[in-house]
Structure 1
Amino acid sequence: MRRFLVLLASVAACLGLSTLPAAATPSYCGLTWGSLDKSNPNYSAATLTDVRAGRHQCFDRLVVDLAGPAAGYLVRYVDTVTEDGSGAPVPLRGGAFLQVVVNAPAYDSAGNPTYRPGNRTELVNVNGYETFRQVAWAVSFEGQSTIGLGVRARLPFRVLVLDAPARVVIDVAHYW
């Protein structure tokens, strides 16, 4: 039913209809997120230790686990996710691409890896997810780590920094 209401509102907008009955105005799960860049410039001594994903009723969730106090981030839609340093493109499936940069390296102060993806092109299995299409490793370079997130379309998202345990969380809505 919700998809029908979203379609109805889209058709009404295309036809120039300015109003729909209140019951037909879609509000997907009450989410008020947008799709513009989100950032927090903070750095910490944390290191990246894992990347995982989960499905929820209204959104798909990407979690970047950290050892140490939670770090800052930059999450934004881009035409192509690239590796820092080399500029090499990171191939991704999906209709839109989120570049997830966490201000924490995937290596310790001695240069030893704290996160080693088993498969750089498929960090987590997102088969069957409503929104996510692929999660790929880009690089950890100069104190920050970059992950490519392929999604179905350019959809609203939010970013949370959480403690106990420390992590950066990216939620991408299933619909507008």
Structure 2
Amino acid sequence: MAVLAAGVMLAGCTGGGSAGPTGSAGATTSGTTPSASATAIPTATPTPSPGCTPFGSTAAKGSTLRPGEQLSGITGSSLRTARHPCFDRVVLEFRGPGLIPGWYATYTNVLRGEQTGEPITPALKGNAFIDVTFGAWYTGEPVGRPAFSGPQQLLPVGYPALREVRILDGFEGVSRLGIGVDQKRPFQVAWLKDPYRMVVDIYTGVL
């Protein structure tokens, strides 16, 4: 699979057990919202692997054109996560024709509503938050295409970094995804094709 645009280079993966940034394999995946009895986040955190090659950074990253400047006709179809030996992964998959949209990802202390400016409630789980914005509807309904069929919220259990992933909002063709993690960690973003996927990898090796 070809990497079309990325914060740093990334080997292709669908969120399953394929190779990732460090060439590691053996991922576990989650593509549905856990039941109420499974939403508690364990207090014990997996021990970081000392053999991981660091990648990414905590700095903001994005495309040359901002989300509102480069809108795309693709629409969201599913949302899932995967746990690899050296990173946790979030994958938002898209359907339909179109170009890669403008996008921007940055850490923020508080996730706020795009239109209201008020803090998102309920707040995402985690101690640090990545705000991901992209110039495409996560759901196809506003443009007469199939509705989003994936979960709008994921509460990963047993992941080193991920605490919650939630689709936040969409306005005038620009959508937002919030990612809650245990602490501020290096991350990277890549776009893959066939089908289009936006992939966010959060480094979980020794910091």
Give yes or no for TM over 0.5: yes
Within the candidate set 99, 105, 124, 1:92 is matched to 124
The answer to whether structure 1 residue 58 and structure 2 residue 86 are counterparts is yes
Query: Does the residue aligned with 1:85 lie in a helix, a strand or coil?
Result: coil
Map of 2:29 onto structure 1: none
Structure 2, unaligned runs of 5 or more? 1-48
Map of 1:136 onto structure 2: 166
Aligned residue identity for 2:124: L
RMSD value, Cα = 2.3
**What whole-Å deviation, never above 9, does each CA across 1:34-76 have from its counterpart, x for those lacking one?**
1100111343211122211111110000011111343331111
Contact map agreement 2:82 2:90 (CA 8 A) in 1: yes
Query: Does the residue aligned with 2:154 lie in a helix, a strand or coil?
Result: coil
Give the alignment of 1:154-169 within 5 angstroms.
154-169=184-199
Map of 1:152 onto structure 2: 182
Contact map agreement 1:132 1:151 (CA 8 A) in 2: yes
Normalising by structure 2, we get a TM-score of 0.64
Give the alignment of 1:18-167 within 5 angstroms.
29-40=52-63, 41=65, 42-67=70-95, 68-69=97-98, 70-90=100-120, 91-105=123-137, 106-108=139-141, 110=143, 114-115=147-148, 120=152, 123-167=153-197
> Structure 1 residues 32 and 75, CA, compared in 2 at 3 Å: closer, same or farther?
same
> Structure 1 residues 94 and 28, CA, compared in 2 at 3 Å: closer, same or farther?
farther
Greater relative CO, 1 or 2 (CA 8 Å, sep 6+): 2
Name the count of aligned residue pairs: 148
- The share of aligned pairs that are identical, in percent, is 29
Distance 2:143 2:169 in 1: 17
Q: CA deviation at 1:109?
A: 5.1
Distance 1:89 1:82 in 2: 4
More helix by share: 1
Structure 1, unaligned runs of 5 or more? 1-25
**What whole-Å deviation, never above 9, does each CA across 1:57-105 have from its counterpart, x for those lacking one?**
1000001111134333111100111221122322111110011112211
Normalising by structure 1, we get a TM-score of 0.75
Distance 2:143 2:177 in 1: 22
> Structure 1 residues 144 and 29, CA, compared in 2 at 3 Å: closer, same or farther?
same
> Structure 1 residues 110 and 162, CA, compared in 2 at 3 Å: closer, same or farther?
closer
